């Protein structure tokens, strides 16, 4: 048996496993106050399992109708997480990772370059997302939602394969995030064309929202499968498709130095919405540092994470418990 498949980490907080009396974090009344409640020591954390595995192999062996939601940030260039590209990134040496131009003396973190995709790369991405969607539609229960991070340059290569695989498109979540992608003047001619930007500076990140078709009405599906809708923020406030979110930085980055780390403040809102009754299992098939898994656990939800790269898998093992304990919004533990 492949050694990777035997490496199965099962982690659950003692409270959940032993069923001790637990204090659940107070229900948030709005997105803004969602993360002020201290988590460490007082919250009921959800259990999780993480696997060092190839998602496609793992999903092919997973029981049908056995997962309730997917929240994920997949690789896009397809090659950006290959060992040779990660090596080039480490050395600051070309490849698909590029350092955004410095205009204020600050050193920027490298970002994957998507504009260099050829037609053959695009076809590979369509095939990648087509294969992924076909596997996900089998393992999700009816009414299960998928939240998939993408970007404005490649989202069309994700959405069509998901719809062709049988998912319904249910909208897009717009994460308002000020990145340093785009907005640059023409390379080597920025003085001559100082009033020109080659592309807009990107200020948002789309997350495709899909649902496996329901069995019966929404209420039937909710009763039988615990899925079909999205959890409201409160009695008076539905989940919304516009979320303001800074990039992950500071303490979070120290804990989980993954090149494309997503912030807890954002992910906790998404995972919470993904399980309408707070019941079921969320899968992140490309977990990286385990940020989605930490967010789910911090919200008291059950989850499974998969990662192919042993280095990132080790990072996730270390980072998840520490990310769970973070209290965003400027709390004294320094999650900012």
Ligand X SMILES: C[S@@+](CC[C@H](N)C(=O)[O-])C[C@H]1O[C@@H](n2cnc3c(N)ncnc32)[C@H](O)[C@@H]1O
Residues making contact with ligand X (CB under 6 A): 54-56, 73-75, 81, 258, 260-262, 286, 288-289, 291, 306-309, 312
- Nearest CB to ligand X, comparing residues 214 and 287: 287
What residue is closest to ligand X based on CB? 288
Q: Nearest distance from residue 11's CB to ligand X, in Å?
A: 17
316 contacts 289 by C-beta, under 8 angstroms: yes
Q: Nearest distance from residue 219's CB to ligand X, in Å?
A: 33
At residue 12, the 3 state secondary structure works out as coil
Distances in Å between the alpha carbon of 61 and those of 66, 136, 178, 196, 296?
12, 12, 39, 51, 23
- Nearest CB to ligand X, comparing residues 261 and 301: 261
- Nearest CB to ligand X, comparing residues 52 and 180: 52
Q: Nearest distance from residue 58's CB to ligand X, in Å?
A: 8
The H-or-E segment that residue 89 falls in is helix 83-91
- Nearest CB to ligand X, comparing residues 132 and 141: 132
How many beta carbons lie within 10 A of that of residue 281, not counting itself? 20
Q: Nearest distance from residue 259's CB to ligand X, in Å?
A: 7
User: What whole-number distance in Å separates Cα of residue 217 and Cα of residue 263?
Assistant: 34
- Beta strand pairing status for 140-149 and 67-72? parallel
118 Cβ partners below 8 Å, 6+ apart?
Answer: none
Q: Nearest distance from residue 308's CB to ligand X, in Å?
A: 4
- Nearest CB to ligand X, comparing residues 25 and 261: 261
């Amino acid at each position: 048996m492949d050694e990777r498949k035997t490496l199965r980490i099962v982690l659950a907080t003692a409270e959940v496993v032993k069923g001790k009396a637990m204090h659940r974090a107070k229900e948030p009344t709005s997105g803004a106050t969602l993360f002020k409640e201290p988590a460490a020591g007082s919250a009921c954390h959800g259990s999780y399992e993480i696997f060092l595995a190839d998602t496609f192999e793992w999903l092919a062996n997973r029981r049908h109708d056995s997962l309730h939601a997917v929240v994920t940030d997949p690789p896009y260039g397809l090659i950006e997480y290959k060992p040779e590209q990660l090596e080039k990134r480490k050395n600051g040496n070309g490849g698909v990772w590029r350092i955004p131009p410095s205009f204020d003396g600050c050193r920027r973190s490298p970002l994957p370059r998507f504009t260099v995709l050829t037609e053959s790369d695009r076809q590979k991405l369509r095939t990648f997302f087509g294969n992924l969607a076909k596997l996900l539609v089998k393992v999700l229960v009816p009414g299960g939602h998928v939240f998939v991070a993408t970007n404005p340059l490649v989202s069309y290569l994700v959405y069509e394969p998901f719809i062709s695989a049988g998912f319904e498109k249910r909208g897009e979540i717009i994460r308002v995030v000020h990145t340093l992608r785009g907005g640059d003047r023409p390379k080597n001619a920025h003085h001559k064309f100082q009033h020109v930007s080659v592309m807009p500076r990107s200020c948002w990140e789309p997350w495709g929202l899909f649902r496996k078709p329901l069995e019966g009405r929404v209420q039937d599906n909710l009763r039988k499968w615990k899925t079909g809708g999205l959890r409201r923020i409160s009695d008076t406030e539905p989940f919304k498709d516009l979320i303001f979110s800074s990039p992950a930085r500071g303490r979070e980055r120290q804990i989980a130095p993954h090149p494309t780390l997503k912030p807890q403040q954002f992910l906790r809102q998404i995972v919470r919405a993904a399980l309408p009754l707070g019941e079921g299992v969320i899968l992140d098939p490309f977990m990286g540092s385990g940020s989605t898994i930490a967010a789910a656990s911090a919200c008291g939800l059950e989850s499974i994470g998969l990662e192919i790269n042993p280095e990132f898998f080790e990072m996730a093992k270390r980072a998840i418990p520490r990310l769970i304990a973070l209290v965003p919004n400027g709390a004294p533990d320094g999650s900012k």
